[in-house]
Amino acid sequence: MKTQINFVQRQICPTVLTVEEAMNRQKKLLIIDVQNPKYVTSIIPRAQRLNEAISLKDIPKTQAVLVTCLSGERSFRVAQQLIQRGYCDVYVLKGGVMAWRRAGYMTQLIKLPA
């Protein structure tokens, strides 16, 4: 029984990438930002805002996807939902955009709606 539970957990848990791992893989990944639209001020370059620039129906289920948010919590939940919907190559950025900035990498500023 324990083996079955571990197998199920692995199936619905996204792979967590450090900032360095994400940098090394970013050209192969579709980066999706899922920050709360009321509070988002910056995103990782090349990231697309879910439901603004891209929707799930536009993403092939075989596409490698990196889900990001401000701290990593929201992205983990969204990544789990993607896996449950059949996406097979899903990653989360450990620490989110805050960790990306702390590592000294550039972010793209986003204009908040008025």
Q: In terms of residue numbers, what domain contains 63?
A: 2-109
Query: Pairing mode, if any, of strands 65-68 and 30-33?
Result: parallel
CA dist., res. 68 & res. 16, Å (int): 11
Which element (helix H / strand E) includes 100? helix 96-102
Total of domains in the chain: 1
Q: Residue 45: pLDDT above 90?
A: yes
CA dist., res. 112 & res. 26, Å (int): 25
At 58 the pLDDT is 86
pTM: 0.84
C-alpha pair distances (Å), 63 with each of 29, 58, 97 = 8, 10, 21
CATH number of 41's domain: 3.40.250.10
- pLDDT tens digit string along 66-104? 999 999 899 999 999 999 999 989 999 999 999 999 999
- The answer to whether residue 70 is domain-embedded is yes
Q: Residue 10: pLDDT above 90?
A: no
- pLDDT tens digit string along 19-34? 999 999 989 999 999 9
- The answer to whether residue 7 is domain-embedded is yes
Residues contacting residue 4 through CB under 8 Å, at least 6 positions apart = none
φ, ψ (nearest 5 deg) of residue 90 = -120, 130
Pick the more confident residue, 7 or 70. Answer: 70
- The answer to whether residue 76 is domain-embedded is yes
At 110 the pLDDT is 83
At 80 the pLDDT is 93
Mean pLDDT of 35-59: 86
- The answer to whether residue 89 is domain-embedded is yes
C-alpha pair distances (Å), 24 with each of 28, 89, 93 = 9, 16, 12
At 52 the pLDDT is 64
Could you tell me where the DSSP H helices lie in 13-59? Answer: 19-25
At 91 the pLDDT is 97
- The answer to whether residue 114 is domain-embedded is no
